[in-house]
Structure 1
Amino acid sequence: MTTMHEPLDTAPTPLTTPSARHGGVLFGVYVGVGLLLIALNLRMGVASVGPVLPAIERDLGIPSAAAGLLTTIPVFAFGAFAFLTPTLTRRIGLHRLLALTMVVVAVGIGTRLLDSPVALFGGTVLVGAGIAVANVCMPAVIKQDFAHRLGLMMGLYSTALFVGAAAAAAFTVPLMTALDGSWRGALAFWAVPAVLALLVWLPRAVRGSASVAGTPGDAIAEPRDEPQMSVLLRDPVAWAVTVFMGLQSLSYYAALTWIPTMLQDAGVPLADAGLLLSYSSFPGVAAALLAPMMLRRIRPTWLPVLLSTLLCAAGLIGLLVVPGGAAPWVWMTLLGLGQGAAITLSLTYIVLRAPDAAHTAHLSTMAQGIGYLLAGFGPIGLGILHAAVGGWALPVAALVLLLGVQSVAGAAASRERHVRAGGR
């Protein structure tokens, strides 16, 4: 590993490439807007499904467990398909690959219009595959194009993830109502933002050799040492980032899946439980914007990790102990703040712990590939525990225990050092 000190935001790198000279600040703004539009689409295709699951079950006549696969398949796909990204990047180029992911996401969402369960589940796999590759590409693109504004861009990126998820969760049911009860049309609508993001990003994909930060290459090549996954798999820094990413994703998706049921079991009406879950995205957005500032200003470096973990733990324990009255709004505020900070920290550590864009892509592949495969077992494991004991005390205790492990991994990932470069 390599020790380092890499501030989140430094003075802008001179714009020396021809396209950067001609585009200047406007080119940078355009690329930033394009990235944020793509980021908005990286949760919409998943978050839109949950609110209409009961309608899907009734219409298709499938059990709840089968319908639930529509929300768990994408998480496993995030992990499985992430490992294809380095090969695809070498063949296609980073910025062009990001454009292709929007095509895959739009097609996957669009297939939900077809009157076929096979198309519904097959399209869900496509959505997961497209998002998986985009998840890996985004930190590498930000590292390459915005090396001078890492903190700002990672905060905006994380914020866009939350906004996209919240928008899809909030508006899918009203869309279904407006479309005469068609859940297929309501789900397929979310292909429109993906197409919009693709159209905005296409000029950047075609202009792949240009870089906002003045660094060459669309293929993220020309690192001092070509990164090797086998080296990262032996690197403790890479594993710290990976475990932190995996456990914060596990706790997020477990909470996303089961908190509404947990609240209903405590006597909270279904509509209020859904509203509380949607509400948690708003403090999440605030935390996502503030987390880069915390990284830049708070010392020791592990303190933001500890704070985010404590907020999540307090929210979960509060929901278990005092689930009635106005208290759930407090607990969901704390949980949203903790989750928003944790996702931003985990994504930012991928960028900060890599010496260049090529290593960022490989570290992103490892962290998100292994991390999301781990996260996929969160909702399943929590459901098994709940079914076994018939209550929520043990499942919540298990999540809090994992949050403790998450804080240890995050503290290790927060140390200012790089993963080993190349074969060293």
Structure 2
Amino acid sequence: MNQHLPPEHSSRLTADLDIAAKQLVDAEVDSVPQPRVPDFKTPGAQILFGLSLVLIAYNLRPVFSSASALLPEIIAQTGLSSFGAGVLTTLPVLCLGLFAPLAPRLAQRIGAERTLLGVLLLLALGTALRGLQSLPLLFIGTALAGGCIAIGNVLLPGLVKRDFASRTGMMTGLYTMALCAGAASAAGLTLPVQKLLGGSWSLALSAWAVPALVVTTIWLPQALARKVRTKHAGFKVVGLWRDRLAWQVTLFMGLQSALAYCVFGWLAPILRDRGLDGTTAGVVVSVSVMAQVFTCLLVPSIAVRCRNQSLINVALVTIAVAGLLGLLFAPLSTVWLWAVVQGIGQGGLIAIAMTMIVLRSPDSHVASHLSGMAQCVGYMLAAVGPLLVGLIHSVTESYAATAILFVLLGIGVAIFGWGAGRALQVQARTITL
């Protein structure tokens, strides 16, 4: 993809991708014996495997932004309150924290590939349940999908790192773009799909089960072809949960995620409330999400070259919150600019939060456990963000007051980001069992 770039630009892009790849955390690093790298018989088999991982990544975000795009229709046709809508947008984020710790254990018992096969099947089921025009099934399907996404989030980076050691940078770029493309597609296309399906919000939500089923059929023979070797945890990390720096990294991760999922869950309804039509609001959210790709790939290469990342963390949250405030209050003619600004800041925050986990860890085992701590606690904390947006709107009948929430979240991200960015390492140690 770099053939039209000057050589120096191409090599710089490759270096940036390689640095971003080093921030991927392997959830199975504690496993004994270590999982084997697949023996690809042909280049085509390796390409198919890599394409499958990218397509799986694409399916890990539509659940969040598809419901957001149709939230006004769901509220109008079901009588769901703004607080109930907040619970709906919060539920999958909460499940990210609750189910993430299961991923390494499932991988040890049945293998990462077969675990991902189960994830895809249940993700498709959960997404399809949202199309049955039943509020209880809407919530159940959303929770099921959220739990599946949690496990996929944890296992995919390790597979990318393990199975494409010589092409990790390229695969990281494709993986990152697929995550953002999935969220952007759901934000921008769900409303047009609803109109195409006769105005049914439920069918439009369930339509996102189709790409998950397509990937399942592609992944099925590859997952079943892998021989399962039962593994066990051969290492233990002690002292992590008592470490102050580990908590700063975790709270930085959680609060920046709260901002991110406020965008996923509520930006489209906020823009529609301001006067944009549903399709345009969805496209604005898509633009914001796709702008995240740039800083997701660029920020790690800048961060690792700096001894201290505190200023970078504060700068990125300032940009992200400024973008949100612009989307709330600036003239509608400027929303495209503010969408890009917000995406740049938010994408950088997502990337640097993961980078902090690696930079603050003395070894890969501590990094894996710190990642588990940051995702488990962080996502449960992040779930509060979308819930509070719904509560604020329910009480005030306006989205303007959510600006206070965004600023407070931004201050929290800046405080813990400053602490997490210091050139220190967590005081935890790895013990061989």
TM range (shorter): 0.7 to 0.9
Instruction: Quote the residue 2:417 is aligned against.
Output: 407
The residue that corresponds to 1:186 in the other structure is 204
Alignment of 1:253-268 (within 5 A): 253-260=261-268, 263=271, 267-268=274-275
For the 8 Å contact 2:69–2:269, the answer to whether it is kept is: no
Distance in 1, matches of 2:165 and 2:316, equals 25
> Matched residues in 1 for 2:217 and 2:378: separation?
31
Amino acid paired to 1:99: L
Shift of 1:287: 2.2
Shift of residue 335, structure 1, vs aligned partner:
0.8
Give the deviation of 1:162 after TM superposition: 1.3
Q: What does residue 120 of structure 2 align with?
A: 102
Q: CA deviation at 1:291?
A: 3.1
Using the TM superposition, give the Cα deviation of residue 375 of structure 1 relative to its aligned residue in structure 2, in angstroms. 0.3
Q: Secondary structure in 1 aligned to 2:336? A: helix
Distance 1:415 1:141 in 2: 29
TM-score, normalised to structure 1's length? 0.80
Contact kept in structure 2, 1:316 and 1:335, CA below 8 Å: yes
Pair 1:50 & 2:59 matched: no
State the partner residue of 1:395.
Answer: 405
Alignment TM-score, normalising by the size of structure 2:
0.78
**2:11 — aligned with what?**
none
Q: Which range moved further: 82-91 or 270-279?
A: 270-279
Q: Tell me how many residue pairs correspond in the alignment.
A: 399
Match status 1:372 vs 2:379 = yes
Quick one: which amino acid aligns to residue 418 of structure 2? V
Which residue, out of 309, 313, 323, partners 2:321?
313
Confirm or deny that 1:251 pairs with 2:259.
yes
Gaps of 5+ in 1: 1-5, 11-16, 210-216
C-alpha distance in 2 between matches for 1:7 and 1:218: 31
403-412 vs 71-80, greater mean Cα deviation: 403-412
**Displacement of 1:8 after TM fit?**
5.3
Question: What's the % identity of the aligned pairs?
Answer: 36
| 1:306-344 C-alpha deviation (Å, 9 max, x unpaired) | 442232133234445x51153332222111011112222
Change in Cα spacing, 1:416 to 1:325, as seen in structure 2 (3 Å) is: same
What is the rounded CA distance, in whole Å, between the counterparts of 2:223 and 2:63 in structure 1? 23
* C-alpha displacement of 1:409: 4.7
**Structure 2 CA distance for aligned equivalents of residues 208 and 403 of structure 1:** 42
Question: Aligned with 1:227: secondary structure?
Answer: strand
Q: Shift of the alpha carbon at 1:7?
A: 5.7
Cα distance in structure 2, aligned partners of 1:246 and 1:404: 12
Partner of 1:90: 108
Given candidates 294, 299, 306, the residue that maps to 1:291 is 299
Q: Distance in 2 between matches of 1:154 and 1:349?
A: 17
Q: Which residue of structure 2 lines up, in the alignment, with residue 111 of structure 1?
A: 129
Q: How far apart are the structure 2 equivalents of 1:218 and 1:331?
A: 50
Tell me if structure 2 keeps the 8 A contact 1:86–1:362. Answer: no
Runs of 5+ unmatched residues, structure 2 = 1-17, 23-34
Q: Contact 2:123–2:212 at 8 Å: present in 1 too? A: yes
CA deviation vs aligned residue, 1:154-180 (integer Å, no higher than 9, x gap): 443332221101111111111121112
Cα distance between partner residues in 1 of 2:350 and 2:332: 29
Other-structure match for 1:242: 250
Aligned-pair distance for 1:237?
5.4
Q: Which residue of 1 aligns with 2:180?
A: 162
- Could you report, residue by residue, the CA deviation over 1:230-271 in whole angstroms, capped at 9, with x for unpaired residues? 643234554344223212111112234444565567x54354
Superposition deviation, residue 25 in structure 1: 5.3
1:263–1:323: 8 Å Cα contact kept in structure 2?
no
268-277 or 122-131: which moved more? 268-277
